[in-house]
Amino acid sequence: MGVKNNIVKPIFFTFLAMLSLLIAVFFVFHFAFPLKLSKWFYSMGANKLAVTYMERAYEDDEDYNTLYSLLNLSIKTENHEKVETFFEKFYADDNYALYVSTIDANNATKNVSNLVKSSLYSEDNYLKNKYILALVSQGKVEKAYDFALENSALVITEENIGIYAYKYMFDNEYEFSVLENFDSFCVELENYFNENLNYFFHMTRVREPQPINSLVVGCRINEIAKNLKTIKQYDSALITLTEEQINEYVLEVSKRMPLFV
């Protein structure tokens, strides 16, 4: 019995000491290094805990890079309230325009191109659409619509494809009647759809088309088409194109897109 105790006791006390050390280390990181702890949780796939510690890190350093990481983690975890809060902080900063353009420039140097995140094309477009998604997911449709209006010129040129901030709007559950000047907006949106079609078909006819632009515009045409069809289901008079015509255009675009992927 004595021999057994002599073996078990050291093992038990060693385990206890290691556990105490581990707890002590965790508490040190918990209070002193929340950013490192956030990155560790993120690497382990514990994204919600990563957000919690990233938020603590931002409270400590108020660093713009930390805020960007916090915003992206909130998007990844689909925490719509936090996305709304952190995007508004991020967007209000004077560094916003330069910061997102720097990310685009960095992405352009990689093999994945500036489509690295999605067909939303640019970091600016990506973040603004995710912000709108966060708003509509909370039922803040008017706020989302107003922001989209402010940020979508609905003009496409060779120099600047621009932003389309309606990707996540116009679901069937929305009450469109509360949106200001919605009738005139629908006319503008349908014209924009036609502009994108003309631009896309022009690019696919030239000898040296721009693959990235062609792919982006093709994806955008599909997004606009979904919006038009949803609006048409709400009130068919708002959109002059028939659903069959919209589908035919989208089909023709999809036939040409694999040439550029």
- What would the pLDDT profile of 99-156 be if each residue is shown by its tens digit? 998 988 877 676 554 454 444 578 899 999 999 999 999 999 999 999 999 998 888 8
Question: Is pLDDT above 60 for 242?
Answer: yes
Question: 62 in a domain, yes or no?
Answer: no
* Confidence class for position 44, pLDDT limits 50, 70, 90: low
What DSSP line would sit under 24-49, residue for residue?
Answer: HHHHHHHHH-HHHHHHHHHHTT-HHH
Question: 187 in a domain, yes or no?
Answer: yes
Looking at the structure of the chain, the number of domains it has is 1
Contact (Cβ atoms closer than 8 angstroms) between residue 195 and residue 157:
no
Give the pTM. Answer: 0.79
Question: 129 in a domain, yes or no?
Answer: no
Question: 156 in a domain, yes or no?
Answer: yes
Question: 223 in a domain, yes or no?
Answer: yes
Angle at 131 between CA 180 and CA 221, to 5 degrees: 70
The rounded mean pLDDT for the chain is 79
Residue-wise pLDDT for 202-230, tens only, equals 877 755 556 677 788 888 999 999 999 99
Question: 183 in a domain, yes or no?
Answer: yes
Which has the closest alpha carbon to 168: 185, 186, 147? 147
| Structure tokens given for 122 | 């640019």
**Cα–Cα distance, 162 to 75 (Å, whole number):** 22
| Structure tokens given for 60 | 């400590």
Question: Is pLDDT above 60 for 96?
Answer: yes
* Confidence class for position 9, pLDDT limits 50, 70, 90: low
Question: 188 in a domain, yes or no?
Answer: yes
Question: Is pLDDT above 80 for 12?
Answer: no
**Cα–Cα distance, 110 to 87 (Å, whole number):** 26
* Confidence class for position 62, pLDDT limits 50, 70, 90: confident
CA 234, 237, 241, 244 torsion-angle sign: positive
Q: Kindly state the DSSP code that residue 257 receives in the 8-state scheme.
A: G
Question: 249 in a domain, yes or no?
Answer: yes
Question: Is pLDDT above 70 for 180?
Answer: yes
Please give the residue range of the domain that contains residue 223: 140-261
- Cβ neighbours of residue 156 under 8 Å, at least 6 residues apart? 162, 192, 195, 196, 199, 217
Question: Is pLDDT above 80 for 172?
Answer: no
What DSSP line would sit under 87-100, residue for residue?
Answer: HHHHHHSTTHHHHH
